[in-house]
Amino acid sequence: MLSSVPEKGDWDLITVANRIYVTPEYAEAFEQRFRDRAGLVDQMPGFISNQILRPVNEGDPYVVFTFWNSRQDFLNWVRSDAFVKGHAQSGSLPREAFSQANALEMHEVVQDSSRPDLEPEPHGGPFKMH
């Protein structure tokens, strides 16, 4: 379900994928962390949806996949007090729960078959979180 569907003519779209490498013995705890999440992102302007993707192949990462109306909407989220609060409330797993560092990726949606009127997200250049 989309929580923030933009009006026609304002249909830019980006995705953000956080690839998180979780060791098998912590997989259930990791999933539970998202089931119990604070949900603050759901209230952010421009937020569309959040999906947690479980890997089917051993050694592949979980993917926390979010859709946003624009790059700026995502940046507003990560710079917000709600972001800090939401991540603090989500709990933390010990370092040994992760087999390697996570990787954050942003993609500009050029075409979406479910949204034929989508205007491609303008090319915004490289993205650096820190």
Per-residue pLDDT of 54-84, as tens digits, reads 999 999 999 999 999 999 999 999 999 998 8
**Domain at 14-108: CATH code:** 3.30.70.100
Domain boundaries, the chain: 14-108
pTM value is 0.80
* pLDDT given for residue 11 in this prediction: 53
How long is the chain?
A: 130
Residue numbers in the chain where pLDDT is lower than 50: 1-9
